[in-house]
Chains A and B, each alone.
Chain A
């Protein structure tokens, strides 16, 4: 209860501001309509009308909630209108990109920690890669991969997602693999341990807390990457495509519902990563 109270307070605050903003923004349309019809409306009459428009500038929470409910549970999950279906498409892309990002991040980190040349030659590029806006890069990756004959959208989407998610893994793993101190390295030396044993017995396990900390960031980045990958050039599946359709066809409710579906997906992914992290931590003897 002690933890729920502050969260609920903030939530209530957000809802209040949201409703106020919805009234204020949607009222313009109500007053315009009235003026065109040559009638006048009072604020008391206008407010209920701001709550139930078909194309509101800012849909109030209950409308978004209803649309979200309809999208999630209103039809068969295989329907093209189902947010569960689109969410699954996005989830699949996110997981592929996440996996690819983890593999790339870990391998690059290993190379950087092992070879000084890689540290000097690769690390700056890794950092520069993250300064390029992904929205600018995404269409290029999609066109390039279709040029290469990869017609399936899964691959470019996964690449875009991996492009964003490898970085936090890389940075954390470099730090983690370097975390053992001199004494621990000396200890292994006195056993005559080789490089392989040092890596497997010391560096790798020592890096695990860093690894898991980076996964939460990486999974969120991967989801963003996937959604961005779903935006350009006529995608029809996935939450990103749903958002774009909503915005292009002037259906704010669809857009907002897709947005919240993406937020729920992000939340679920982070919870799952958190559970995996805790299980791993318990196995590695971390104090509860």
Chain B
């Protein structure tokens, strides 16, 4: 019974969220009246042109930005509380591995800060390295790995402390198409295996459609949500699903949403 309650409770819930940045050129409305509910196990993509507030929203969930008004809860708590409960792992656009630490050392970083025991640290490092298929690379330094492998290591680092939510801010934006396809497949596998809730910022339509159960289309000035699409695609998604009719239809709807947002300014 208890399980169903927690199943039904939204993992991320935003109501009437506004966020205004004070800049030298005056206030900038980064988010305007954002309403969104994300359920447990959802894979949510945020897509839109730059300046639409998709990254700002993700950062607000992670308590890196603070909303000016409205409510935002993560696991029913404020984002700051959720951080203290280790509710989420964050993956940035650049892998951002410390060059002076080995891959193992980098994955240990959050564990050291959060005070996990030494034995527990080792065990977790091994487990997440296997999860992102980097087993045997623990002793390498970041520069010895390709860009795609570095980003996988940074995902492993975000997974190491068992957060329920994985927030990813254009994690594969700097990688080439082929590597990106492979990593997209791997992220889906990871998601299926771990059952995590994933928030994923991208500006690639195929990436958003391929990965998500829910696609949030946003548009700029002011940053707002223009469309939320619940994907009818099955959970099991081979790469060639991208040639299917349904896939093309969703992609079309996303494109229309993006274009509509653009017409308004």
CB within 8 Å of B: which residues of A? Answer: 183-184, 186-193, 197, 201-202, 205-206, 208, 284-287
B114 & A201 in contact (Cβ 8 Å cutoff):
no
Known: A184-B96, A284-B100, A285-B101. A192 touches B88 (CB 8 A): no
**Of the 9-residue stretches B19-27, B105-113, B211-219, which lies at the interface with chain A?**
B105-113
What sequence of 0s and 1s flags, for each residue 53-66 of chain B, a beta carbon within 8 Å of any chain A beta carbon? 00000010011100
CB-nearest residue of chain A to B86: A192
B83 & A186 in contact (Cβ 8 Å cutoff):
no
CB-nearest residue of chain A to B92: A183
Complex: how many Å from CA A208 to CA B98? 13
Among the listed B100, B109, B143, which residue makes an inter-chain contact with A208, where contact means beta carbons less than 8 Å apart? B100
CB-nearest residue of chain A to B85: A192
A183 & B94 in contact (Cβ 8 Å cutoff):
yes
A191 & B92 in contact (Cβ 8 Å cutoff):
no
A191 & B100 in contact (Cβ 8 Å cutoff):
no
Task: List residues of chain A with CB within 8 A of the CB of B102.
Answer: 285
B105 → chain A, closest Cβ, in Å?
9
CB-nearest residue of chain B to A208: B100
Task: List residues of chain A with CB within 8 A of the CB of B63.
Answer: 189
Known: A208-B100, A285-B141, A287-B143. A191 touches B64 (CB 8 A): no
Task: List residues of chain A with CB within 8 A of the CB of B83.
Answer: 190, 192
Task: List residues of chain B with CB within 8 A of the CB of A284.
Answer: 99-100
B263 within 8 A of A: no
Known: A193-B113, A201-B109. A187 touches B88 (CB 8 A): no
Known: A205-B98, A285-B100, A285-B141. A187 touches B113 (CB 8 A): no
Q: List 12 A-B contacts (CB under 8 A).
A: A184-B98, A186-B64, A186-B92, A187-B92, A190-B88, A191-B109, A192-B114, A206-B98, A284-B99, A285-B102, A285-B142, A287-B143
Complex: how many Å from CA A209 to CA B107? 22
Complex: how many Å from CA A50 to CA B214? 93
Known: A201-B112, A287-B143. A183 touches B96 (CB 8 A): yes
How many contacts A-B (CB < 8 Å)?
54
Known: A183-B96, A201-B109, A285-B101. A190 touches B114 (CB 8 A): no
B90 within 8 A of A: yes
B68 → chain A, closest Cβ, in Å?
20
Among the listed B90, B98, B100, B112, which residue makes an inter-chain contact with A190, where contact means beta carbons less than 8 Å apart? B90
CB within 8 Å of A: which residues of B? Answer: 59, 62-64, 83-84, 86, 88-90, 92-94, 96, 98-102, 109-110, 112-114, 141-143
Task: List residues of chain A with CB within 8 A of the CB of B143.
Answer: 285, 287
Known: A183-B94, A187-B92, A287-B143. A197 touches B113 (CB 8 A): yes
Complex: how many Å from CA A285 to CA B101? 7
Task: List residues of chain B with CB within 8 A of the CB of A286.
Answer: 99-100
Complex: how many Å from CA A191 to CA B112? 10
A187 & B100 in contact (Cβ 8 Å cutoff):
no
CB-nearest residue of chain B to A198: B113
Q: Which of A189, A190, A285, A287 gathers most chain B CB within 10 Å?
A: A190
CB-nearest residue of chain B to A187: B96
Task: List residues of chain B with CB within 8 A of the CB of A193.
Answer: 113
B227 → chain A, closest Cβ, in Å?
29
Known: A183-B96, A205-B100. A190 touches B64 (CB 8 A): yes
Task: List residues of chain B with CB within 8 A of the CB of A186.
Answer: 59, 64, 90, 92
Complex: how many Å from CA A92 to CA B113? 41
Q: Which of B86, B113, B114, B143 gathers most chain A CB within 10 Å?
A: B113
Task: List residues of chain A with CB within 8 A of the CB of B112.
Answer: 201
Known: A186-B64, A201-B109, A285-B141. A191 touches B114 (CB 8 A): yes
Complex: how many Å from CA A188 to CA B101? 15
Complex: how many Å from CA A188 to CA B110? 8
Complex: how many Å from CA A226 to CA B211? 66
Task: List residues of chain B with CB within 8 A of the CB of A285.
Answer: 99-102, 141-143
